[in-house]
A and B are shown apart, each in its own frame.
Chain A
Amino acid sequence: MPRVEKLLPLLEVGASIGVGIGVAALVLFAFGYNPGECLAAIFDPHYLVSNAGFILSNAAPLICTAIAFAIPALAGLFNIGSEGQMYLGAITSLVVSYLTGNPFLGIASGMIAGAGLASLIAFLRLWLNINEVVTSIMLNWTLYFVVLYIVTQVIPSPQAGYRSVSIPPSARIGSIYGVPGVLLIAVGAAIVANYIVFRTRLGYTIRVSGFSPKTATYAGMNPRTASLYSMLLAGAFAGLGGALIVQGIVYYITDTMSSLYGVGFTGIGVALLARNMPIAIPLSAFFISWVSLGSTRLELLFGAPSELSQVVTGAILIALAAPYAFRLIVHYIRSWRLVKAHG
């Protein structure tokens, strides 16, 4: 019987997909493009099939950064810093796999680096009461430039000046029967994350703390450590996302950081669309990856400026995530006031 009740969020998602496409159509119309043609191009199934490999590989890091947002969100924290954690994971994995040629060491070091950075943010919030949103935004930018510096000054490629050295083939993640390895790893990560959230004591504690720190305290749990662990996990997943980009998709980082930039932020949208349910994140990531690739076609086919295609993706994403994000933000502000008040 409770099945219908569980279908309700699905209904909400369906409705917001409709609204999102509607908004995108309006934007296109306002800029003088034929919305029907454009949308047909974006969602063209042939295009989807012929670019399936690309769409799926690109979904992989998104899955990771979405998990990195979802787990802290369940604990009542806003991890906007997954972008920076992902940068750090990427550069660490690049350096380590360049030096060792070992794919596992590359991934592991990326995850550890991301986790370390996230726990710093959590520490500042939990023990010094510095809002994690603020520290995250600052660190995102700091890391952007740190990575840029390393790429261009420390390990520039001897062949091409605009990028870093490439990682050796031994450290690269290939495909298995045509399925990108990074995708398998990312989907595996979503399954693991789901297991952690719903089947472990830590996940249980995280969810109780996110519902109400008071209830967690009553239950004999420490909501602070729960938050700290949620951030630690988040950082590790974000770091994994960065490592997957470097070891499975591009093999180096360019001086525009184009392969990294925004993957953390888009992950927030992916997580919100999946209602922070780790198991739903892969699907949501495929969808977003598909739409963003499709939108770039507007540029090719109709000569639309590239900003417009981003606006279209953005409109769809915002409409998808808005109702849920709103609830989350209200809850977040409330609990932040609570924490502030009690010091």
Chain B
Amino acid sequence: MTRPAIVVRDVWKVYPDGTVALRGVSLEIDEGEIHGVLGENGAGKTTLMRIIYGEIKPTRGEIEVFGKKVRFRGPWDAMRMGIAMVYQRFTLVPTMSVLENLFLALSSVERGARISDARSLAEETMERTGLRVPLDARVEELPVGLQQRVEILKALMRRARVLILDEPTSVLSPLEVEALFSTLRKLKEMGITIVFITHKLKEVKEVTDRVTVLRRGRVVGSAVTSEVSEVDLARMMVGREVLMKVRRAESREHAKPILVVKDLWVRDDRGLPAVKGVSLEVREGEVLGIAGVQGNGQRELVEAIAGVRPVEKGRIEINGIDVTSASTEERYRLGLAYVPESRDIGLVLDMSVAENSVLTRVREVSRAGLLSMRRILEIASEVVRTFAVVTPSLSTSVRYLSGGNQQKLMVGRELAKRPRVLVVSEPTHGLDVAATEFVRRTIVSFAEGGGAVLLVSSDLEEVMQLSSRVAIMSGGRILAIKKPSEYSLEELGLLMGGAVA
């Protein structure tokens, strides 16, 4: 009846630096199924997928695709066999248009392809799959969610029979996730096999047929999804019980406002108004969450607060001091810490773990212009220890860390600064359940210790769970600010859709 699309037999992977990422993994993925792959950060999921996709070679073991033993020399070989992959980190050229990116991908497999071919093929694929993207927009101007959709489209355009998605949902809003899932189901009906990596157990339950759990480079379990519960999966993944609930910090009335934004107007990269008169206060001891569909001005808002994007009109205060025209560095000195939504911005992949752990506080670790290596190593080991960043050493390039461990480093670094106010975007993007729980807990206890947190997340559940108050943002405006318990579900849906309360 079903035959395996991909068989992995006793695969080992030792990276050049000696890290053993896979220790004898065996796995079967049936044709036409949606197969979930779960595992802690650094468990080896991405490594396994890169091997199946021919990007890296296994140290030992073999791979079979549609019954044929294969030895891929590179991804092009895998592509020829109908395997496509969407990476955790996008591979688009940010300064080019969507169409140009698609054309680039097309011409790498089809010599002599013209840009008009790419357009018609893209339009046809969008028709077929319902995955719509603006073809003429520049990639870097699109929200992360849309960028990812371009990646998926790119894979589908090449007529993939097996589609590997590495954490496709971690940046999507609930609505986008729903849309993605219905796409995946449609693709499954079309006979396409899907391998789906995620950290969200709910998603595994919702969309996969079978699931495999990796831990420290080994398969610790494989199951038919309908036969296991989320709790079982979590236990399999982490090896212990995980509490998935985090208690929130309650707002105190009359607490002192630490971050104040008044009638703020900000433009996006294209010069169009993105934030239109936002006013808000983040008080001592609270988490103010911003919920809303991505691309509604959240990014521009936090960037303006951090001082990396110019303000058109309005006022920003930190601790009562007007910082509207202050530099980013001055704001950091006044106690602001900022975690950007993208690791590409928040980390220097070519630099070491140690160097990255002081990225936003270099001045503090230098005397008379000289870096204090001792201080840097102290801070780095504190961050690595506290946030359980898995790394071979402090001098390892951040490039070689798994996605989740990069994220832990970036978030941990900002919290380790012990700021007055923390502005954080997508704090748990790419983190496994245990790390997610830890980061959420740390954010809440930071607030309880008197800190102020502005939290932006496309994960509505995260915002509702952590925030003392929730602001709904749509079309560049704040439509409502209330305690999470004061929202009804309908109201949330309506507001996020842009209806005025």
Contact = CB atoms under 8 A, between A and B. Distances in A.
Nearest to A340: B95
Contacts of A211: 348-351
A1 interface: yes
Nearest to B352: A2
A334 B93 contact: yes
Given A1-B17, A4-B17, A8-B16, A218 B345 contact: yes
A342 B267 CA distance: 13
Contact of B95 (A5, A202, A220, A337): A337
Contacts of A2: 17-18, 392-393, 395-396
Interface string A327-342: 0000000100110011
Contact of A5 (B16, B329, B345): B16
A200 to B, nearest CB: 5
A207 to B, nearest CB: 7
B338 A218 contact: yes
B91 interface: no
B373 interface: yes
B369 to A, nearest CB: 5
B345 A202 contact: no
A215 B410 CA distance: 12
Contacts of A334: 93, 95
Contacts of B95: 334, 337-338, 341
Contacts of A8: 16
Contacts of B346: 215, 218
B409 to A, nearest CB: 14
Nearest to B376: A204
**Interface size, B (range):** 35 or more
Contacts of B373: 199
* Chief secondary structure at chain A's binding surface: helix
Given A208-B351, A211-B349, A218 B17 contact: no
Contacts of B138: 341
Contacts of A212: 344-345, 348
A217 interface: yes
Nearest to A195: B370
A102 to B, nearest CB: 29
A218 B338 CA distance: 9
Interface in A2-24: 2, 4-5, 8
Chain B CB within 10 A, most for which of A4, A207, A217, A342: A217
A65 interface: no
Given A215-B345, A218-B340, A201 B16 contact: no
Contacts of B363: 201
A202 B329 CA distance: 15
Chain B CB within 10 A, most for which of A211, A218, A220: A220
B308 interface: yes
Contacts of B355: 204
Given A215-B346, A218-B338, A337-B95, A208 B359 contact: yes
Contacts of A48: none
A5 B397 CA distance: 10
B196 interface: no
A211 B344 CA distance: 10
B93 A221 contact: no
Nearest to B351: A207
Interface in B390-430: 392-393, 395-397, 400
Contacts of A219: 328, 359-360, 362
24 contacts: A1-B19, A2-B393, A4-B18, A5-B16, A199-B371, A199-B373, A201-B363, A201-B369, A204-B355, A205-B362, A207-B348, A211-B348, A211-B350, A212-B345, A214-B308, A215-B347, A217-B308, A218-B306, A218-B328, A219-B328, A220-B327, A220-B331, A338-B94, A341-B95
Given A4-B16, A201-B366, A215-B359, 7 more contacts: A2-B393, A4-B17, A5-B16, A200-B366, A207-B348, A211-B349, A211-B350
Interface of A: 1-2, 4-5, 8, 199-202, 204-205, 207-208, 211-212, 214-215, 217-222, 334, 337-338, 341-342
Interface of B: 16-19, 93-95, 138, 269, 306, 308, 327-329, 331-332, 338, 340, 344-351, 355, 359-360, 362-363, 366, 369-371, 373, 392-393, 395-397, 400
Which are the 7 A-B pairs with shortest beta-carbon distances? A220-B329, A1-B18, A201-B366, A220-B328, A5-B17, A211-B348, A337-B95
